[in-house]
Amino acid sequence: MTPPIIDGALRPSRPRASDLQRKQPQLQLQHQQLVQAVAVGPDATRRGSTRGPRPHASQPSRRTLLADVQQQQQQQQQKEEKKGKKKQKVTGAAGITAAAQAEKTTKPRGAGRAIDRRDGFFRTFNICALFGVAFYYAFQNGPNDNDGKMVFNRSLFYDTMVSEPVYMGIPALYLVAVWTLSRFMRDKPPATEFLRNRVQPIYNLTQIVLCAYMSWGLFPTDLRNPFGLNNKRDADIEWFVFVHFLSKYLDYVDTFVMVFKKSYRQISFLQVFHHATIAMVWPFLLSRGWGSGTASYGAFINSVTHVIMYTHYFVSSFGINNPFKKWITTFQLSQFASCIGPIPGAEKSKNE
Instruction: Output helix, strand, coil percentages for the chain, rounded to the nearest 5.
Output: 65, 0, 35
CA 136 to chain centre: 36
Task: Considering the candidates 31, 56, 244, 274, report the single residue annotated as catalytic.
Answer: 274
Please say whether the beta carbons of 96 and 90 come within 8 A.
yes
Active-site annotation holds for 275? no
Distances (CA, A) of 236 to 55, 242, 243: 112, 10, 11
Handedness of CA 270, 275, 276, 277 (dihedral sign): positive
Q: List Cβ neighbours of 49 (8 Å cut-off, separation of 6 or more).
A: 40, 41
Determine the 3-state secondary structure of 276 from DSSP: helix
**DSSP-assigned states of every residue in 99-164:** HHHHHHHHSPTTTTS----HHHHHHHHHHHHHHHHHHHHHHHHS---SSSS-SS--SHHHHHHTSH
DSSP category for residue 90? B
Active site residue ranges? 274
